[in-house]
Amino acid sequence: MKKFLVVVLLFLAGPAFADAVAVQTVKIIVERIAEISVRGNPEIYLNVAKDKESRAEGSYDITVNYNAQILANIDKKLPDGMSLFVSLQHPNGSFGPEVLLSENPRTVVSGISPVASKDNRINYRLVCEGIDNYKGEAAVSFTITDFN
């Protein structure tokens, strides 16, 4: 009977001597990543006596962790008769359609899934009609935005 009483007392006393519990709160932050950089120094030389258009290339790297698209625009209006087009290689390897650049941002690549991709090509095409002499430059901006 004594053994039975000791076993019952140990069984009932067990929860009173339970392990200590500590709780720690873990703060979790997942930031959006949207990075794009361009490389190269595209220059377009055009001899309008022989050709109406000429091309140049550059490249870009992109890292995003959400579904995104790339918009492009130039910093100023080009002279009448001069048109600058751009086409970007999608990180999946395909090329998007050629887009006429203006001061208003236009989509040049869409449907980009989370990716880190390097050495994607940028193709520029300049078309001139009725211009026989011009020297200048246009800054092309590429902006990553949400793609829904």
Tens-digit pLDDT profile for residues 102-123:
999 999 999 999 999 999 999 9
Sorted by sequence, the CB contacts under 8 Å of residue 88 that are 6+ apart come out as: 60, 70, 72, 95, 96, 108, 109, 120, 121, 122, 123, 142
Average pLDDT over residues 42-55: 91
At residue 12, the pLDDT reads 55
Determine the Cα–Cα distance for residues 120 and 36; give it in Å rounded to an integer: 11
For the chain, give the number of residues. 148
Over residues 60-66, the mean pLDDT reads 97
pLDDT exceeds 90 at position 89: yes
pLDDT at 2: 57
Nearest 5°: the CA angle 136, 141, 143 is 175
CA distance 91 to 62: 8
The values of phi and psi at residue 86, to 5°, are -140, 145
The mean pLDDT value of the chain amounts to 90
Q: What is the pLDDT of residue 109?
A: 97
Banded model confidence at residue 136, pLDDT cuts 50, 70, 90: very high
Q: What's the whole-number mean pLDDT along residues 9-22? A: 66
Question: Distance (Å, rounded) from C-alpha 40 to C-alpha 122?
Answer: 10
Instruction: Give the pTM.
Output: 0.80
Residue 34 predicted with pLDDT over 70? yes
What is the CA 134 to chain-centroid distance, rounded?
33
Q: Which position has the higher pLDDT, 62 or 8?
A: 62
- State how far the Cα of 78 lies from the Cα of 130, in Å rounded to an integer: 13
Residue 15 has a pLDDT of 57
